[in-house]
Structure 1
């Protein structure tokens, strides 16, 4: 599998898992969704907001890539979140709508990446203003790894609330291949 094919697979996994997560979260009473469960970002809602914040910040950074991805045009116009714990939306329905729009952007952008784009160095500043120059492919891998990390936390929080969302492994989306 090529690097760009793997990125497309990760985008598909991201969209699949987010749809499953939000389907499970929407089934819960609001008090369960906002209950402080002592996670990094407190509640299920806080964790899901953090994922949206992180994705927004990274997509805005990726929009500065020399390839000038047109698929990221809508992200360029978004306000940059003020903090990693910012509550973008205080209700699951609004956050779910935003999540779906982000996932659509991520999927379209992933399919537009060319292999030579991945070898570029991306210059950006951290949320604390620290300048960085890092390999773009490594940053894209971090982007998807960050999502997986926090979705894992969200599934644990859902489990604490009595909800099992079932299979969450990327393995479920990796196609079988014919051995010659």
Structure 2
């Protein structure tokens, strides 16, 4: 599997898992979604918002890639988040709307990536203003790993609230080569 195909797989998995996560979260009322459960970002809603914030920050950084990535234009128009724990969307419906927009953008953008795009050294600044230059493919790996990390926390919080997420494994999105297309 080429690296660009791996990124496309991760974008597909990201969209699939976020859709399932939001569907599971919708079975809870506002109080349960907002209850501080001791997670890094407090509540289920706080954790969902953190993922939105982080995705916007990273996608804006990725938009500075020399290729330009026109598919990221919708994210470039969004306001810059001010903090990693910022509540961008106070309700689950608002989270769902922004999440769907971001996930569609990520999936569309992933289809435009080429192998040579992945070899670029991308310069950016952290949220604290610290400059860094890192391999673009490694940054994309971090981007998707970060989402998986916090979705894992959210699935635990949902489980503690009595909601079963069911299957969450990437394996279910990897094509089975023994099956005909």
Question: Does the TM-score normalized on the shorter chain lie above 0.5?
Answer: yes
CA–CA distance in 2 between the matches of 1:127 and 1:146? 16
Other-structure match for 2:124: 124
| Aligned equivalents of 1:79, 1:122: Cα separation in 2 | 22
Q: Which residue of 1 aligns with 2:63?
A: 63
Residues 1:148 and 2:148 aligned together: yes
The alignment's TM-score, normalised by the length of structure 2, stands at 0.97
RMSD: 1.0
Between the aligned partners of 2:120 and 2:147, the Cα distance in structure 1 is 22
Q: Secondary structure at the match of 1:129?
A: coil
Deviation string for 1:74-109 (max 9, x for gaps)?
Answer: 111111101110000110001110000000000001
1:28 lines up with 2:28 in the alignment: yes
Cα drift, residue 6 of structure 1: 0.4
What stretches of structure 1 move > 6 A for 4+ residues in a row? Answer: none
For residues 86 and 120 of structure 2, what CA distance do their matches in structure 1 show? 30
Following TM superposition, by how much is the alpha carbon of 1:177 offset from its aligned partner in structure 2, in angstroms?
Answer: 1.6
Aligned residue pair count: 179
Q: Which residue of 2 aligns with 1:49?
A: 49
| Residue of structure 1 in register with 2:10 after alignment | 10
1:72 Cα offset (Å): 0.3
- Gapped runs of 5+ residues in structure 2? none
